[in-house]
Amino acid sequence: MNHPTPKVPVPTLERMATYLACLTDLNEKQVQTISSADMEQMTNINAAQFRKDLSYFGEFGRPGIGYSVPELAGRISTILKVDREQPVLLAGAGNLGSALAGYPALRRENFHIVAAFDTDPDKIGSRLWDLDIHDIAQAPAMNRALNAKIGIIAVPAAAAQGVAETLVSAGVTAILNFAPVSLRVPAGVAVRNVDFVQEMAVLSYHLAG
Amino acid sequence: MNHPTPKVPVPTLERMATYLACLTDLNEKQVQTISSADMEQMTNINAAQFRKDLSYFGEFGRPGIGYSVPELAGRISTILKVDREQPVLLAGAGNLGSALAGYPALRRENFHIVAAFDTDPDKIGSRLWDLDIHDIAQAPAMNRALNAKIGIIAVPAAAAQGVAETLVSAGVTAILNFAPVSLRVPAGVAVRNVDFVQEMAVLSYHLAG
C-alpha cells in the first residue's frame, strides 16, 4: 500500500473485508445475532483479534448479547465504503480482464466495472461481456463522465507502468495491479498488488523435499 | 498460511519471489552484477530489507562488488523450489480457471497445470486450452500418476471446502485458493488466499470522501 497516513493497519482492513463477507452471508440467512466466538469459527480468525480489529472503528456489540448481524454488516460496509456503488475502470481485456469483468462477486459488493480499455489494436473496438473495449488513451476523457476512482490493471508487465500513469491522469486514486511489476505512482495513490506467480512461489517454498 | 514451523516470515518469502522476478529479467538482459541499491530502485523494496531478507538463507554477495545476478537468481530459485518443474492441479474451469491455465508467466516459472477439474457436469468432458476437464472426484486417482503437490481452487465459494478436501485426499499439500472462504485443512497443508473482493474493499477504504 502507498498511502500518506495509514492509521489502520492494512491486515486489519483485510480482515474487516473478511468479516463483512461472512456477515453478508449470515444476513442473507436471516441470522440476527452472533458472538465473537461464532465469528472465529466461521472465519478462522481469533475472536480477540476480531474484537481488536473492530476497536479501531469505535464501539460494537453488547456484552453478553453479542453483535447484531445487520447492524455490524452495515457499519463495516460504511467503513470500507462498499455501501455505495463504486465505478471501476478495467485496463486489460485479455483472459484475466475477462474473468474479472465476468466475476459476479465484485458486482454484488457494489464494484461496477464501467469501462474496459486495452492497448492492443486487435482488441480495441471489440466487446468484453457487455462493455466496449476502448483505447487506454481515451481513459482520461471518458472518466470525466464516469468519475471512477478505482482502476484495475490486468495488462502484461511491460505495459503496466504506462497504463498506471494513464489511469492516474484519468483521476484514479486506487489501483489493483495484477501485473508482476512495482508501479511508481504519486503520493496519495493507493496500490495493491496481486501476483499469481509470487503466490505460487511462496506455496512452493513450503513443499517438502 | 497454515504451516507447522514457519521459520522464515511469509512477507520475506513474498519479497524473495519479487527479487527473483527482478533477477530473472536482469538475467535475460545479460546484466552480470547488481547492488542492493539497484534492487531497491527496481523493486521499491528498501535495500536494508533486501539484505535482511537474504540473511535468512545464508551469505550472499561480496562487499564492494555486489551480487552476481545469475548466482543470486539460481540460489533464490533453489530456495523457493522453482528451479524444478512443479505440476499443479487446477480445480475450476470457469473464467478465472481459464485465465490461470492460459497465463504464460506461471509456465515460465516452472508451474505446470497438468490437469483441470470441475464439479459442473456441463464443463466435465470439454476442454480448457490443451487440457481435458475432469470430474473433481477423479483427482485422487489421476494424481497417483501426476503426483502434483500444489492445487489451485477457482470454484464458487459454496464448492470450495469440498474441493479442498478432495485435493488434499489426492495428495496436495499446498493450495492457492481464489474462493472467498476460509478453508479448513489438515495441519501441514499450506493455504494462500487471493480474494479479489477483499482487495477491492481495502482499496475502497482508502478513497477520499
**Which residue in A81, A112, A195, A200 has the most chain B C-beta atoms within 10 A of its own C-beta, making it the best mutation to test that interface?**
A200
For chain A, percent of residues with pLDDT exceeding 90: 89
Contact B60, B52 (CB under 8 A): no
Question: Domain B10-79 adopts which CATH fold?
Answer: Arc Repressor Mutant, subunit A (1.10.10)
Instruction: State pLDDT tens for residues B26-40.
Output: 999 999 999 999 999
Compute the nearest-CA separation of A98 from chain B (Å). 7
CA distance A85 to A112: 7
Q: Do B204 and A99 touch (CB under 8 A)?
A: no
Instruction: State pLDDT tens for residues B167-204.
Output: 999 999 999 999 998 899 999 999 999 999 999 999 99
Q: Cell numbers at residue A129, please?
A: 461481456
Residue tagged 460494537 (cell numbers): A60
Report domain extents, chain A: 10-79, 86-199
Question: Domain B86-199 adopts which CATH fold?
Answer: Rossmann fold (3.40.50)
Would an 8 Å CB–CB cutoff place A47 in contact with chain B? no
**Which residue in B5, B53, B128, B202 has the most chain A C-beta atoms within 10 A of its own C-beta, making it the best mutation to test that interface?**
B202
| pTM for the predicted model, two decimal places | 0.92
Grade residue B166 by pLDDT with cuts at 50, 70 and 90. very high
Q: What is the pLDDT along chain A (209 residues), one digit of tens a residue?
A: 444 444 899 999 999 999 999 999 999 999 999 999 999 999 989 999 999 999 999 999 998 899 999 999 999 999 999 999 999 999 999 999 999 999 988 988 899 999 999 999 999 999 999 999 999 999 999 999 999 999 999 999 999 999 999 999 999 999 999 999 889 999 999 999 999 999 999 999 999 87
CA distance A77 to A79: 6
Would an 8 Å CB–CB cutoff place A175 in contact with chain B? yes
The radius of gyration of chain B from alpha carbons, rounded to an integer in Å, stands at 19
